[in-house]
Amino acid sequence: MSQPLLEVRDLSAGYRVYKGFLRVLDGVSLTVRRGEKIGLVGESGCGKTTTMRAILGVLPSNGRVTGGQVLFEGRDLRQASPRELQRLRGRKLTAIFQNPGAALNPVFTVGQQLDAVLRAHHPGMPARERRQRAIEALASVRLPDPERLLNNYPVQLSGGMKQRVCIALALLSDADLIIADEPGTALDVTIEDQVMRLFMRLVEERQSATIFITHSLGVVRQWMDRVYVMYAGSIVEAAPTQELFRNPLHPYTQALLKAVPKLTGGGIPKGIEGRVPDYADPPAGCRFHPRCPFYSPDRCPARPALVDVGNDHLVACYQY
């Protein structure tokens, strides 16, 4: 059996705050095979970004991973030394952050930032070749006039252009895994559509795998191979994209899908009652139970495990 590229097992993490310890991630498990495109969806506050940060080992100073394993090509990243992790982060796994404006340093030109990445990854590369590679990278994300762009500062670019520069940065490293956190949120639909098309094409060309974090179910449906639905710090459902959208099983997934207004009409749907729980004092057992229409104390005694219901479809719910 071939080894998966990334395997996250039972990852738990949280943040220390005034109210105590927020147990945000509660046993997240997910698997990414080589070249696979994974969508990670859920409401805000579900722990999507925390998952990404925990995998990359870049939690903020009050955050802490409390358990589980992050196996990248079979090696546990939690055991890796900071230096190894640093090296790995550039070469083999890389990230695109939510806000393209904040991810680029405003005091350096686009060229300087691309150059810094290249210098870090290819220490021996001559300056001229680095420049050539930078130009190619910008051209590959279809930015017009890449040579002039090298001398531009981030403020001189539009949101769509900045996001494309971020993608170019991420792709420069030829990483095996790219984790992208809501890269389309700040963009208009037409631009988001263009950026997505480009991003997915480049990912496919390089045969990289990607974990794409988003709250847009539509984006996931259109571009991803497999979807993980996250609620309150754990995976509640995972399935191949087609399967998940045709046959959603978890009540949370069903409610989420229903809540999206449809282009075909049908009025404004009902949202999900209630809100994402307080992580200082999360509900016992299934964390979705206070909002779940199918909950009954007899049927849902503890936290449900992810079970395979066939078709590579996993769900964590006592109904199945």
Partner 1 sequence: MAVALLEVRHLKKYFHTAEGVVRAVDDVSFTLDAGRTLGLVGESGSGKTTTAYMIAGIHQPTSGEVLFEGRNLAGPRSRELRRQIQMVFQDPGTSLNPTHSIKDILTLPLRVHGLARGPQLEARARELIEHVHLPASFLYKYPRELSEGEKQAVAIARAIAVNPKLIVLDEPTASLDVSMQAWILRLLLELQQEFGFAYLLITHDLSLMRNFATDVAIMYLGRIVETAPADAFFTRPRHPYTQMLISSIPVVTDEEEALKPAQVVSQGEIPSPVNPPSGCRFHTRCPRRFEPCDREEPVMLELEPGHCAACHLYSGGQAAPSQRDNP
Q: Which residue, 32, 68, 37, is CA-closest to 50?
A: 68
End-to-end CA distance of the chain: 28
User: At closest approach, how far in Å is the CB of 231 from partner 1?
Assistant: 11
Of 20, 67, 271, 301, which lies in the binding site for partner 1, with binding defined by CB under 8 A?
271
Of 44, 105, 247, 319, which lies in the binding site for partner 1, with binding defined by CB under 8 A?
44
Distance, CA of 151 to CA of 154 (rounded, Å)? 10
Distance, CA of 162 to CA of 160 (rounded, Å)? 5
What number of other Cβ atoms are within 10 A of residue 69's Cβ? 16
Cβ within 8 Å of residue 51, ≥6 positions away? 8, 11, 25, 28, 40, 213, 230
Q: Give the residues across from 238 on adjacent strands.
A: 228, 314
Of 262, 278, 305, 307, which lies in the binding site for partner 1, with binding defined by CB under 8 A?
262
Single out the segment in contact with partner 1 by CB under 8 A; choices: 13-21, 62-70, 152-160, 226-234. Answer: 152-160
Contact between 255 and partner 1 by CB under 8 A: the answer reads: yes
DSSP strand E in the chain: where? 6-17, 20-32, 37-41, 63-72, 75-76, 93-96, 177-181, 209-214, 226-231, 234-240, 307-308, 314-315
What number of other Cβ atoms are within 10 A of residue 223's Cβ? 18
Residue span 168-207 as binding mask against partner 1, x where in contact by CB under 8 A, dash where not: --------------------xxxxxxx-x-----------
* Location of structure tokens 């997505």: 196
User: At closest approach, how far in Å is the CB of 259 from partner 1?
Assistant: 4
Contact between 268 and partner 1 by CB under 8 A: the answer reads: yes
Is 93:178 a contact under the CB 8 Å cutoff? yes
Single out the segment in contact with partner 1 by CB under 8 A; choices: 3-11, 65-73, 270-278, 300-308. Answer: 270-278
User: At closest approach, how far in Å is the CB of 224 from partner 1?
Assistant: 11
User: At closest approach, how far in Å is the CB of 41 from partner 1?
Assistant: 10
User: At closest approach, how far in Å is the CB of 312 from partner 1?
Assistant: 20
Of 63, 160, 277, 304, which lies in the binding site for partner 1, with binding defined by CB under 8 A?
160
Contact between 280 and partner 1 by CB under 8 A: the answer reads: no
Residue numbers at the binding site for partner 1 (CB under 8 A): 43-44, 158-161, 188-194, 196, 215-222, 245-246, 255-257, 259-272, 275
